[in-house]
Amino acid sequence: MENYTMEGRTYRYYGKEAPLYPFGYGLSYTTFQYRDLVLSPPTLPICANLSVSVVLENTGQQDGEEVVQLYLRWEQSSVPVPRWQLVAFRRVAVPAGRETKLSFQVVAEQRAVWAQDWRLEPSTFTLFAGGQQPGQQTRAPSEVLSARFTVTGAARSLHGC
């Protein structure tokens, strides 16, 4: 085998066509609302980690569980990258009418791209937070919030951090 590209071979590289049953697919007996997505810092050095927080509220009449998912999208890259990449998820139980603030850490390694070795590149990124993949249309409505952050500095090997 000489062609190791993932394009057209896995849902992460299918282009605009969404998978029939993406990660997080399913229904709930309640409804959830996401708000207050905060990325800190909004501009970070090449080797730094990103702190993420989001508030999840159970707006329904039943206690419920939600799988909160974080996806990362590269706005520019020197090599082919997925449309978006799952970087964190957590199952959270939230009583009816209550809310919880969740915190995540997106480490520098999760932004690395393969270019003969694992490299970190400066770029603008979009981070998505919600109960489903960005743009998913095959389940009950769920919000997906998004926010951008910028990574500055010279590209370098991941091992150089």
Q: Which of 77-86, 88-97, 130-139 has the lowest mean pLDDT?
A: 130-139
Q: How would you write 48-75 as a 3-class SS string?
A: CCEEEEEEEEECCCCCEEEEEEEEEEEC
CATH of domain 32-150: 2.60.40.10
Name the pTM for this structure. 0.84
ω into 41 cis (within 30 of 0): yes
Q: Where are the domains of the chain?
A: 32-150
Give per-residue pLDDT as tens, 17-58: 666 666 666 667 899 999 999 999 999 999 999 999 999 999
What are the distances in angstroms from CA 25 to CA 20, 138, 156? 9, 8, 37
Read off the pLDDT of residues 84-131 as tens digits, 9 standing for 90 and up.
899 999 999 999 999 999 999 999 999 999 988 999 999 999 999 998
